[in-house]
Amino acid sequence: MQFTLKMTLEARQAIDALANTDRARYRKILKTLGLMQTNMRHPGLHTHEYFALKGPNGEKVFEAYVENKTPAAYRVFWFYGPGQGEITIISVTSHA
């Protein structure tokens, strides 16, 4: 299934900031987002539920890996919706 990605302002600002400060991580994030659109079951995403957060309407929040086995590795936090076939990216941040 192909998904349409929506982003919160926070997520968009984090990605835009990396475009200017860390091109390597920026490219990794774009790759991760592309995989999320086309193949949510890709093993490199290591997607799993993130229990410490809920979406704005109580949605389950999930975490996908941008990097693995890297100090301060980046993660994408997201939930399904609001519409059918949509994913909302709520945060792109380092996993400290």
- Percent with pLDDT over 90 in the chain: 91
**Burial tier of 4 (Cβ tally within 10 Å: 0-12, 13-18, 19+):** exposed
CATH label, 4-94, candidates 3.30.2310.20, 1.25.40.10, 3.40.50.620, 1.10.10.10: 3.30.2310.20
| pLDDT given at position 95 | 75
Assess whether pLDDT exceeds 90 at residue 96: no
Largest CA distance in the chain: 35
73-89 residue pLDDT tens: 999 999 999 999 999 99
Stated pTM of the model: 0.94
H helical segments located in the chain: 9-21, 23-38
Q: Indicate the domain borders of the chain.
A: 4-94
55-76 residue pLDDT tens: 999 999 999 999 998 888 999 9
